[in-house]
């Protein structure tokens, strides 16, 4: 048991130490050519925070973000072990997320607490309990092998996707998006992709995140209000990043192991490459949603498919599909918001208004609330 306590705590310490060493040396010796090789994962975020304060380092920072570490480096093994241990299914998923942010991404407990809208004391307790369980239940500090790898990797990807979504469109009531959380999730996913290069679904998740972030410049207007996909100024999308991401997705597809992340990435890619909402290849998107449904048949996937379907088969057909989800998605604000849009198209202003009011009651994100309120004011029945 002592050996295990050693393992987990030391692993965390080692990465922190590597940072201290790097920060002490860099101002004297200059930043090394491949600074990424200097830093273990947990150290990176602190380093970036410090580096951001100094403009002269901007160039080196770009290098740090792009730096590749040889997958067989011992530090790489440690990082991967740390990620798999933090995302062990014996820990509650909310603890997996918190622990990954703390031990792997180097967030402070205070930052994690703020991101998930709980008190710092509660978050500290959650992290301490999770660490204690790792030690006391003897959760091994290693990368799962053989048949165990894929299901365990799924758990890791789920944590990273959750982290990304929380950053990309926060559930919280105070801010609309936390780009740094989303960026860190993407960085961690890229790291896992580098360490496990033959896993197509990891690449799928990386591409999905990169495509979302490539469009993020157009998601909010100057007043901070959300701009939905049909109205976004597509010239503000990062077309180079989109092209890069699509290339990686093709590489993943060539591996022949399809999965839900690659399909979601493919759907996002069709949107990302369309010149306008109108010119989007909607039948391709519906076909991709059909493939996704065969893998993961969830009400939310069905809802999204219905939105695409309305562009192919019209709002009435789509509304029929959406209404079938009334029970399972009764508490989901986007179910009611989607119904409102379809009802508007069908000229059912009163029903649309009722649905939008229900959506507003259920929605906590400030930017989405503003949007719903604006639509309520502009609606014909208002």
- Between 147 and 240, CB nearer to another protein: 147
Residues linked to residue 226 through DSSP beta bridges, in sequence order = 220
Residue 246 corresponds to which tokens in the numbers above?
């699509």
CB of 179 to another protein, least distance (A): 36
CB proximity list for 71: less than 8 A, separation 6 or greater = 194, 195, 197
DSSP per position, 81-123 = HHHHHHT-TTS-HHHHHHHIIIIIS---HHHHHHHTT--HHHH
Cβ at position 373, least distance to another protein in Å: 46
Instruction: Kindly tell me which of 23 and 135 has the beta carbon lying closer to another protein.
Output: 135
Q: Is the dihedral of CA 249, 253, 259, 263 positive or negative?
A: positive
Taking the CA atoms of the chain, what radius of gyration do you get in angstroms?
22
Closest approach of another protein to the CB of residue 144, in Å? 7
CB of 139 to another protein, least distance (A): 5
Interacting residues with another protein (CB under 8 A): 1, 88, 90, 136-140, 144, 148
Cβ 130 to another protein shortest distance, Å = 13
Compute the distance between CA of residue 149 and CA of residue 169 in angstroms, rounded to an integer.
30
Q: Which residue's CB is nearer to another protein, number 7 or number 109?
A: 7
In terms of CB distance, is 82 or 371 closer to another protein? 82
Q: What per-residue string of b and e applies to 217-250 under the rule 16 or more CB within 10 Å gives b? A: ebbeeeeeebeeeeebeeeebbeeebeebbebbe
Q: Which is nearer to another protein, 88 or 353 (CB)?
A: 88
- The span from the CA of 77 to the CA of 62, in Å, is 24
| Half-sphere exposure for 224 (CA within 13 Å, toward CB) | 10
- Minimum gap (Å) between residue 136 Cβ and another protein: 6
Question: With respect to another protein, which residue has the nearer C-beta, 8 or 237?
Answer: 8
State the residue for tokens 């200097």.
38
Residue 221 Ramachandran class (φ > 0 left, ψ -120 to 50 alpha, else beta):
beta
Instruction: Pick the closer one to another protein by CB: 3 or 377.
Output: 3
Closest distance between another protein and the C-beta of residue 88, in Å?
8
């Amino acid at each position: 048991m002592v050996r295990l306590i050693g393992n987990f705590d030391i692993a965390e310490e080692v990465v922190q130490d590597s940072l201290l060493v790097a920060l002490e040396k860099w101002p004297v010796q200059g930043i090394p050519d491949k600074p990424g090789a200097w830093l273990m994962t947990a150290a990176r975020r602190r380093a970036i925070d410090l580096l951001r304060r100094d403009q002269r380092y901007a160039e080196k920072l770009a290098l740090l973000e792009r730096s590749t570490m040889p997958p067989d480096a011992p530090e790489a093994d440690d990082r991967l072990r740390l990620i798999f241990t933090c995302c062990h299914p014996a820990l509650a998923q909310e603890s997996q997320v918190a622990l990954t942010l703390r031990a792997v991404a180097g967030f402070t407990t205070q930052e994690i607490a703020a991101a998930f809208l709980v008190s710092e004391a509660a978050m500290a307790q959650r992290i301490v309990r999770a660490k204690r369980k790792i030690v006391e239940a003897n959760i091994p500090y290693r990368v799962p092998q053989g048949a165990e790898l894929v299901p365990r990797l799924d758990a890791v990807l789920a944590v990273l996707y959750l982290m990304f979504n929380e950053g990309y469109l926060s559930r919280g009531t105070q801010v609309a998006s936390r780009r740094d959380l989303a960026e860190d999730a993407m960085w961690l996913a890229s790291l896992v992709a580098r360490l496990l290069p033959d896993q197509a679904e990891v690449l799928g998740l990386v591409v999905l995140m990169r495509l979302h972030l490539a469009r993020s410049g157009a998601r909010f207007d100057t007043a901070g209000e959300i701009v939905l996909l049909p109205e976004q100024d597509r010239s503000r999308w990062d077309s180079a990043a989109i092209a890069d991401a699509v290339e990686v997705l093709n590489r993943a597809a060539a591996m022949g192991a399809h999965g839900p992340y690659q399909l979601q990435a493919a759907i996002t890619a069709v949107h990302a490459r369309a010149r306008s909402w109108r010119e989007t290849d909607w039948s391709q998107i519906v076909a991709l949603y059909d493939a996704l449904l065969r893998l993961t048949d969830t009400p939310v996937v069905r809802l999204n498919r219905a939105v695409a379907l309305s562009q192919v088969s019209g709002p009435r057909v789509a509304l029929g599909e959406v209404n079938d989800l009334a029970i399972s998605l009764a508490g989901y604000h986007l179910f009611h918001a989607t119904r409102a849009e379809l009802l508007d198209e069908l000229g059912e202003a009163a029903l649309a208004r009722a649905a939008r009011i229900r959506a507003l009651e259920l929605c906590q994100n400030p930017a989405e609330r503003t949007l719903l309120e604006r639509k309520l004011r502009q609606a014909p029945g208002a």
